[in-house]
Amino acid sequence: MSAKLPAVHGSINGQAFTAAADATLLQVIRGAGLQVPTLCHLDGLTPVGACRLCLVAIEGHPKLEPACVTTVADGMVVHTHTPELETYRRMAVELFFAEGNHVCAFCVANGSCELQDVAVEVGMDHSRFPYQYPQRHVDASHPQFSLDHHRCILCTRCVRVCDEIEGAHVWDVGYRGSTCSIIAGLDQPWGDVAACTSCGKCVDVCPTGALFRKEDGTGEKHPHPERPRQLAEARSEHHWQNQ
Amino acid sequence: MTTPPPKLRFATVWLAGCSGCHMSFLDLDEWLFELAEAVEIVYSPVASDTKVFPQGVDLCLVEGAVANADNLELALQLRARSKVVVSFGDCAVTANVPGLRNLWAGVDGGSRQSVLDRGYLELADTGAQHPHAPGIVPELLERVLPLHEVIPVDHYLPGCPPSAERIRTFLEHLLRGEEPAMEGPAMLGFG
């Protein structure tokens, strides 16, 4: 059994906190009942700091830090909602909308989309950046699910849940820059990837309408982002049903 | 006896949209009577017969994206003749569904040719031909634009459509001379 980690102390928005030394700033922020927006983070999956929405200001640090991948340290003085942070967050969300093809009106995830919700949270009433209308495609080769790349924000939740929870590692990230995309197998049609168990976990955790069940029409997607945490906890704490 | 203050001159405009935002506006139901007390409707596809956008408009709600030459001309005209211009609904704010043909901008012939070919040639049952009536049927622009990429916009009212409650709250603020508080799910949110 490992030695108990020492507690560290600091403050967030003027509110004092005490936390385990291996806690992330995001855990401490949420534990204190405070909020920062996130898109790529999901409890139960390894944090990657991809979406940059959870950036916070730490006094004495020369740059802003993503709370999900920053470990707390003793004496940390953290600010989560400075005008600078709010400006950058809104800009980041506008860029998500501008770089993909996000048309809420007829999306499967309309009403249950985390990108749509985060736009409200950061106060986005329009995009100051021109929409790019990138040429992407839809992979409908899987018998049960589809991947509409137009709606993908490259959060990599699907990549992580498939690797870390399902253990199948169907998904990866391919290509670079504006052509960067989620790929199945060795960049094959999803339906051709024998490793896929059709478990649907990637669809459950996708924050937008990029991954969806084929029977879902406009506004009919019902995601389950809570499942990786439930499964991770059930495994670590042996919460098996029917036993 | 004092003269009542002049009523606010109010207009609504319908560019490239489905008219759903105007339907939502009509969903204001009996509050429309209160609105009619407070404003003079000087131009609107649902509440006025005036064909030419008038001078001296105080407040103008604009539904729809800018997709053709007529949309562009009216957008420039309403901006020059209105004090306050509001991007009314997702098509005006983001180009939304009318803007989908921008995905064909890089295809041979561009988005305009692609959408006309698809609509009038490939999907025609009989008599396939492009519409051609210069001066009557407006030419499509190559790229469909949200309103603020064409003219300066003072306020944004997102939603597809914005709900009647959202429209009412927004207008009530403006009629009281206040800045509308555009925050939270009641006032913001695309789709």
CB contact under 8 A, A105 and B191: yes
Query: What is the Cα B164 distance to its own chain's centre?
Result: 16
Count of beta carbons in the 10 Å neighbourhood of residue A237: 8
- Chain B 65-104, CB below 8 Å of chain A: which residues? 87, 90, 93-97, 99-100, 102-103
The answer to whether the beta carbons of residues A116 and A96 sit under 8 Å apart is no
User: Is it the case that residue A6 has pLDDT exceeding 90?
Assistant: no
Q: What gap in Å lies between CA B105 and CA B99, rounded to an integer?
A: 11
pLDDT digits (tens, 9 = 90+) for A37-91: 999 999 999 999 999 999 999 999 999 999 999 999 999 999 999 999 999 999 9
The predicted model gives B57-84 an average pLDDT of 98
The predicted model gives B58-83 an average pLDDT of 98
Q: Which residues of A touch B93 (CB under 8 A)?
A: 125-126
Query: What is the Cα B73 distance to its own chain's centre?
Result: 13
In angstroms, what is the C-alpha Rg of chain B?
Answer: 18
Burial category of A32 from C-beta neighbours within 10 Å (exposed 0-12, middle 13-18, buried 19 and up): middle
Q: What gap in Å lies between CA A43 and CA A132, rounded to an integer?
A: 32
Q: Which residues of B touch A133 (CB under 8 A)?
A: 99, 102-103, 105
Query: Of the ranges A5-9, A10-14, B66-70, B174-178, which one carries the lowest mean pLDDT score?
Result: A5-9
Q: What gap in Å lies between CA A115 and CA A222, rounded to an integer?
A: 15
Nearest to A67 by CA among A27, A33, A34, A95: A27
pLDDT digits (tens, 9 = 90+) for A7-24: 999 999 999 999 999 999
CB contact under 8 A, B148 and A135: no
pLDDT band at A241 (very low <50, low <70, confident <90, very high): low
Chain B residue whose CA is closest to A119:
B189
Output the pTM of the full model. 0.94
Nearest to A89 by CA among A63, A121, A67, A61: A121
The answer to whether the beta carbons of residues A181 and A190 sit under 8 Å apart is no
pLDDT digits (tens, 9 = 90+) for A89-115: 999 999 999 999 999 999 999 999 999
Q: What gap in Å lies between CA A140 and CA A150, rounded to an integer?
A: 13
The predicted model gives A147-173 an average pLDDT of 98
Domain limits, chain A: 7-81, 105-236
pLDDT digits (tens, 9 = 90+) for B97-144: 999 999 999 888 899 999 999 999 999 999 999 988 988 999 999 999
Helix (H, G, I), strand (E, B) or coil at B58: strand
The answer to whether the beta carbons of residues B96 and A105 sit under 8 Å apart is yes
Q: What gap in Å lies between CA A235 and CA B128, rounded to an integer?
A: 63
CB contact under 8 A, B93 and A97: no
Residue type, A169: H
CB contact under 8 A, B93 and A126: yes
Residue A175: per-residue pLDDT: 97
Domain limits, chain B: 8-98+139-187
Burial category of A132 from C-beta neighbours within 10 Å (exposed 0-12, middle 13-18, buried 19 and up): middle
CATH code of the domain made up of B8-98+139-187: 3.40.50.700
Backbone angles phi and psi of A156, in degrees to 5: 65, 20
Residues B141-169, buried b or exposed e (16+ Cβ, 10 A)? bebbbbbbbbbebebbbbbbbbebebbbb
Location of structure tokens 């999901």 = A42
The answer to whether the beta carbons of residues A26 and A34 sit under 8 Å apart is no
The answer to whether the beta carbons of residues B9 and B39 sit under 8 Å apart is yes
Residue B5: per-residue pLDDT: 77
- CB contact B130 to A (< 8 Å): no
Comparing CB atoms, the residue among A105, A111, A119 nearest residue B96 is: A105
Name residues whose C-beta falls within 8 Å of residue B148's C-beta, 6 or more positions apart in sequence: A126, B87, B93, B156
Chain A residue whose CA is closest to B161:
A105
CB contact under 8 A, B90 and A104: yes
Nearest to A32 by CA among A90, A4, A69, A72: A72
CB contact under 8 A, B190 and A130: no
Angle at alpha carbon of residue A173, lines to A169 and A176, rounded to 5°: 165
The CATH T-level fold of domain A105-236 is Alpha-Beta Plaits (3.30.70)
pLDDT band at A194 (very low <50, low <70, confident <90, very high): very high
- The DSSP symbol for A190 reads G
CB contact under 8 A, B149 and A105: no
User: Is it the case that residue B49 has pLDDT exceeding 60?
Assistant: yes
The CATH T-level fold of domain A7-81 is Ubiquitin-like (UB roll) (3.10.20)
pLDDT band at A1 (very low <50, low <70, confident <90, very high): very low
